[in-house]
Structure 1
Amino acid sequence: MQTFDFIVVGSGSAGSVVAERLSASGRFSVLVLEAGGTDRRFFVQMPLGYGKTFHDPAVNWNYATEPDPGLLGASDHWPRGKVLGGSSSINAMVWIRGAREDFDTWRDAGNPGWGFDDLLPAFKAIEDNQAGANELRGTGGPVHVTDNRKNIHPLTNRFLAAAQQAGLPLNQDFNGPVQEGAGVYQITTRDGRRMSAARAFLRSAMKRQNVRVETNALATKILFDGKRAVGVEYRQDGQTKTARAGREIIVSGGSVNTPQLLQLSGVGPTAPLGDLGIPIVHANDHVGRNLQDHQGINYTWKARVPTLNQILRPWWGKMLVGMQYLALRSGPLSMSMNQGGGFFRTDGNRYRPNMQLYFQVFSTVIPKRGERPILSPDPFPGFSIGLSNCRPSSRGEIMIRTADPTVQPRITVNAFSTESDVAEMLDAVKFLRKLGSMPPIAEIIAEEVLPGPSITSDADLIQDFRKRSGTVYHPVSTCRMGPDPAYSVVDARLRVHGLAGLRVIDASIFPDNITGNTNAASIMTGWKGAAMVLEDAG
């Protein structure tokens, strides 16, 4: 047994930041426990390699949700990173902070210090934005953000023109003054390699004498002395080990693993914990509840002109782009599948966007077993326009099934379980067809493949998106932040209500989901959370 000042459970988007910031001064010793292994893998470092990591158990928890009535009984696949860098090592790398209104709503719900103006300095300090610095963007930070406007496929320009004809303004920066409009996504890469949280933060921390990172170390229980967290039990190489924390334990396992670990440790709802024989350390019905996620769907067309399908599918095309990537760190493999996209309102009476767009210059109607078929697209020229809801009202939960920490928890999503979520998604998919009917896109369409021209009635459109929708990998809020323990798990300083020496610092603390991809906000949470820990440490 060893004692450290701080123990950080999880090395993902927030945990990597926490470890780096807490250790930077050299004053404190930090232990990082990561259930996965190294991120020094080719398909982790190659940006488009996340097609290969989508099902890879070496780097991916490969969660499966409960059969969901809102998805016509389907069980959804939930990839989450089990590797240094967590999900930032296997995600699509799109850099979206979220809307000003998202964070101001957090603040106004009783969480001082979490408004947009409070958080902007953290966002700017994190960034090294290729687009340059201004009043909203930062440069010189650890996370390099690539501006892709010079690298996009020509068909992305057709999407942007069609979006403008459909009524969306051209947006040069989704992290600028407004989110609404269509544009090119910035992504977290540098020199053709993925800029994960591990690369941006943890690697520098690992060079310090006061930091110890243990990989393949599954945290199984937080240890308490009364109401104070004092240590972590974990399994590594077939052995059960224990580490003690002299100051604090910070749980940064993400929206699935964090509530799971708390529940295994006796922090959570009395049921099912009591029914499973887990002694209750602190009862809180909200641990694992209030699960929110963005649900997405693609509409796909066969094209009259070549798309990336003709390059990424044949062996000779794979060889060409592979050689281009290895020699120059450029080409399709150096980018995300989502080159363009945007935000729109399904109803003109809404005061801000409620849907996000994704444009993909290839299609994957025909799946390939064992991987996300990004690297093996359809045998015909095709492209897709996708969307996801930004702030759904449906709520789910994550609950342990057993006291065994190696058993995956029960993930109940409850997608499209409210009438408002169904209604806005119906309006949204109709807008996808509107985009497809605009001349810049319509003139290159041979036919609609999915859902197909026979799907026209509201009932059929709803049936289709229930059948084909799924997560866009943004689960949050399972240990939500709030001032009242009766409705939340942590306070505004991310301390677990009712306990000492224990904080949660990851996306599970989001009071509500944000408008856009969640990785940037997760990294910001790690940055701000670490700052609060250091302030309290004196």
Structure 2
Amino acid sequence: MTQTYDYIVVGAGSAGCVLANRLSEDGKCSVLLLENGGSDRSIFIQMPTALSIPMNTSKYNWQFESEPEPYLNNRRMHCPRGKVLGGSSSINGMVYVRGHAKDFDEWQEEGAEGWDYRHCLPYFKKAETWTFGSDSYRGDRGPLGVNTGNQMKNPLYRAFIDAGVQAGYPATADYNGAQQEGFGPMQMTIKNGVRWSTSNAYLRPVRSRSNLTVVTHALVHRVVLEGKRAVGVQYERKGEVLTVRADREVVLSAGSIGSPHLLQLSGIGRRDVLEKAGIEVLHELPGVGENLQDHLEFYFQFRCLKPVSLNRKLGWASRLQIGAQWFFLKKGLGATNHFESCGFIRSKAGVEWPDIQYHFLPAAMRYDGKEAFAGDGFQLHVGHNKPKSRGHVHVRSGDPRQHPEILFNYLKEEADREAFRDCVRLSREIIHQQAMDEYRGAEIQPGVEVDTDEEIDAFVRGAVESAYHPSCSCKMGTDEMAVVDPQTRVHGIQSLRVVDSSIFPTIPNGNLNAPTIMVAERAADIIRGFEPLAPSNAPVSMDEQWQARQRPREAARALA
């Protein structure tokens, strides 16, 4: 028997959990939430410091991989996406960055009418409970817990912020408030010492609603169309293929890889791509899977002269102690992601808002948790966040189990390569400020011998990694390459929407979990026909002389 629901939401991730909560909260509309993964109850998901484990575990991760990237020495790049309740918010680094206000104004300029900063800010506020209370920029009544970790107890965090200020950049107490540009404490989605994924924040509190059905281990095959109308979804569970119908709408929230792939599996997309995969073209929409964007970063690593780094906590005895303290008290080093200070700067004069981001880590290690070298160390994760290069997601066949072809074309554009040269040179200048003198040892990576443009380019090609922020592959707008309109409706198909990071027109300067949640909050009001929240008039702090200078004042100390 075919079951019928008002709404079917595909993907219980950063957006899908929000939608399941909001669309079912009136108690009247029936909502089906389909997720290919399973439970997120694992201690390794819930304990913030264990973030490298779910991120690298196939049980919780789709384990996507790019094609050989032609501008990165033909390396295949790891592209983890969450396959579990909470989606990527259950396997990510828990960093909470909204993006710069100008990023959202840029969305509107790209054709996403109504998605400028004034209209987005109220939904950022609606989503969160900021540990320090509410103001014009922050909310204190939302499901999402946001705090600053362990309050920068390690002295390296403060030293990094001070070094940024000494280098001529501003300090910012809240980069998600009036001023992103500068150096300050990092924010994270953690509550009471626990990872506060969208599963914990939005889904778990409402699982008992009689009008909400959550089905896990469901592999969606396609959206069912009748003419130019979406009427349901076909999915497989435990070897059985089922079809469910939607009286109102189908909403894809499968992420920037999954959503365009599902559209293509359903016969919606570029004609040549679908025909090559042997899929009947039911609706030609050339932008599906195009415009793919991501952030790259590399680790700028130094030895530490004092015995204060977290490299001393990587032994099994220390790990057991940290784990026990977290298990019983939800406190200590287990209750943070360890990225507790950060920076946002502009790469050069003439760049209007920050395009380079720093995550500071008082240790030298990789995302997989492996130690970088023996002894104490620290590192900056640094990357250029407004890339010009564009890639794609293309279906390979009609088999939903076969991963799509993913090509980012990282660093294809010269402007992106130039920006990474800026990342190397500006980072060195910051770390060589007086505040870091007592901690800064030898430069391990890139190494002082990496200095010319050619040497930096070669290093970046070999060492740069994805920051795991794929987006923009079903962009929102009204031009011929747009996939959804500003109401999140798929162009030319009735009763079908996409709501996740794939609909971003351009990638923001920051991590993507926060803006994805915001998009889902705002889309939920649009879907329900609610009046949008009143736009904000909160001012945004910008460097008025951005055209003439790269930072607000001269560095206090020249590059050593």
Q: What is the TM-score with the length of structure 1 in the denominator?
A: 0.96
Aligned AA for 1:395? Answer: R
**Per-residue displacement from partner, 1:92-122 (whole Å, max 9, x unpaired)?**
1111111111111212333222111111211
RMSD of equivalent CA atoms? 1.5
Q: 1:376 deviation in Å?
A: 5.0
Q: Which residue of 2 aligns with 1:507?
A: 501
* Aligned residue type for 2:261: Q
Whole-Å separation in 1 of the counterparts to 2:199 and 2:62: 17
Match of 2:409 among 414, 417, 421: 414
TM-superposed CA distance for 1:149, in Å, is: 6.5
Separation of aligned partners in 1, 2:278 and 2:311: 56
CA distance in structure 2 between the partners assigned to 1:91 and 1:238 by the alignment: 30
2:516 to 514, 517, 522: 522
- CA 1:463–1:513: 2 relative to 1, 3 Å: same
**Superposed counterparts of 1:90-489, under 5 Å:** 90-148=91-149, 150-364=151-365, 372-374=367-369, 378-484=373-479, 486-489=480-483
The answer (yes or no) to whether the contact 1:312–1:376 under 8 Å persists in 2 is no
Per-residue deviation, 1:180: 0.5
Find the aligned partners of 1:327 and 1:403 in 2 and give their Cα distance. 48
Structure 1 residues 454, 110: closer, same or farther in 2, change over 3 A? closer
Question: Do residues 533 (structure 1) and 527 (structure 2) align?
Answer: yes
Which residue number in structure 1 is paired with residue 549 of structure 2? none
- Whether the 8 Å CA contact 1:70–1:414 is kept in 2: the answer is yes
> What secondary structure sits across from 2:273 in the alignment?
helix
Shift of 1:448: 1.1
Distance of aligned partners of 1:335 and 1:113 in 2 relative to their CA distance in 1, 3 Å threshold: same
Within 1, Cα distance between the matches of 2:150 and 2:55? 26
Determine the structure 1 residue equivalent to 2:78: 77
State the alpha-carbon separation in 2 of the partners of residues 428 and 273 from structure 1: 39
Identity of aligned residues (%): 38
Task: Note the residue ranges of structure 1 that are not aligned, 5 or more in a row.
Answer: none
Supply the AA of the counterpart residue of 1:491: D
* Cα deviation, residue 309, structure 1: 3.6
- Name the structure 1 match of 2:55: 54
Q: Give distance in 1, aligned partners of 2:131 and 2:406.
A: 38
| d(CA) in 1 for partners of 2:167, 2:95 | 24
Q: What is the DSSP-based 3-state SS (H/G/I as helix, E as strand, rest coil) of the residue aligned with 1:291?
A: coil
Q: Deviation string for 1:271-301 (max 9, x for gaps)?
A: 1211222111110111000001111111101
Quick check: 441-450 or 284-293, which moved more? Answer: 441-450
Query: 410-419 or 312-321: which moved more?
Result: 312-321
Deviations 1:140-169 (A, max 9, x none): 110011133724421111111111111111
CA distance in 2, matches of 1:378, 1:47: 23
Q: Is the 8 A contact 1:307 1:383 kept in 2?
A: no
Q: Distance in 1 between matches of 2:208 and 2:98?
A: 29
CA contact (8 A) 1:122 1:528 kept: yes
Range with greater deviation from structure 2 (143-152 or 36-45): 143-152
- Partner residue, 2:545: none
| In structure 2, distance between residues paired with 1:460 and 1:307 | 32
- Are the aligned partners of 2:160 and 2:435 in contact in 1 as well (CA < 8 Å)? yes
- CA deviations on 1:144-197 (whole Å, 9 max, x unpaired) are 111337244211111111111111111100111111001111111111000000
d(CA) in 2 for partners of 1:181, 1:261: 40
Q: Please tell me whether the aligned partners of residues 148 and 184 of structure 1 are also in contact (alpha carbons under 8 angstroms).
A: no
Whole-Å separation in 2 of the counterparts to 1:62 and 1:358: 24
1:469 Cα deviation (Å)? Answer: 0.5
Q: Tell me which residue corresponds to 1:19.
A: 20
Query: In structure 1, what is the Cα distance between the partners aligned to 2:94 and 2:412?
Result: 29
Using the TM superposition, give the Cα deviation of residue 377 of structure 1 relative to its aligned residue in structure 2, in angstroms: 5.7
* C-alpha displacement of 1:64: 0.8
- 1: CA distance, partners of 2:235 / 2:515: 28
SS of alignment partner, residue 222 of structure 2: strand
Q: Deviations 1:185-240 (Å, cap 9, x if unpaired)? A: 11111110000001111112311000000000011111011110001000111111
Q: Secondary structure at the match of 1:199?
A: helix
8 Å CA contact retained: 1:16, 1:85: yes
Question: Once the two structures are superposed, what CA deviation does each residue of 1:441-467 show, in whole Å capped at 9, x if it has no partner?
Answer: 233223111111221222101110111
How far is the alpha carbon of 1:261 from its aligned partner?
A: 0.4
Q: TM-score, normalised by structure 2?
A: 0.92
Query: 1:331 deviation in Å?
Result: 1.7
Given that 2:112 and 2:477 are in contact with CA atoms closer than 8 Å, whether structure 1 keeps it comes out as: yes
Alpha-carbon distance in structure 2 between the residues aligned to 1:307 and 1:373: 21
Q: Against the structure 1 CA distance between its residues 375 and 464, is the aligned structure 2 distance closer, same or farther, given a 3 Å change threshold?
A: closer
Distance 1:181 1:152 in 2: 20
Corresponding residue for residue 496 of structure 1: 490
Q: Deviations along 1:385-410, whole A, 9 cap, x unmatched? A: 12111210000001111111101111
Single out whichever of 5-14 and 340-349 deviates more from structure 2.
340-349
Residues 278, 397 of structure 2: 8 Å contact kept: no
Letter in 1 for 2:392: E
Q: Which region of structure 1 is more displaced relative to structure 2, 388-397 or 274-283? A: 274-283
Letter in 1 for 2:132: A
Whole-Å Cα distance in 1 between the matches of residues 175 and 311 of structure 2?
30
Q: Are the aligned partners of 1:92 and 1:337 in contact in 2 as well (CA < 8 Å)?
A: no
Helix, strand or coil at the partner of 1:12: coil
> Alpha-carbon deviations, 1:64-84, whole Å to 9, x = none?
111112211111111110000
SS in structure 2 of the partner of residue 37 of structure 1: coil
In structure 2, distance between residues paired with 1:529 and 1:450: 43
Check conservation: 2:56, 2:368, Cα contact below 8 A: no
Distance 1:310 1:528 in 2: 42
Evaluate the alpha carbon distance shift between residue 152 and residue 411 of structure 1 in structure 2; reply closer, same or farther with a 3 A threshold. Answer: farther
Describe the SS at the equivalent of 1:69: coil
AA partner of residue 27 (structure 1): K
Structure 1's consecutive aligned runs of 4 or more residues displaced over 6 angstroms after TM superposition are: none
- Alpha-carbon contact 1:100-1:116 (below 8 Å) kept: yes
- CA–CA distance in 1 between the matches of 2:482 and 2:328? 51
Task: Give the counterpart letter for 1:251 in structure 2.
Answer: L
Q: 1:108 to 1:213 in 2, by over 3 A?
A: same
CA contact (8 A) 1:309 1:379 kept: no
> Which letter does structure 2 place at the counterpart of 1:396?
G
Inter-partner Cα distance in structure 2 for 1:95 and 1:121: 16
Distance 1:103 1:522 in 2: 12
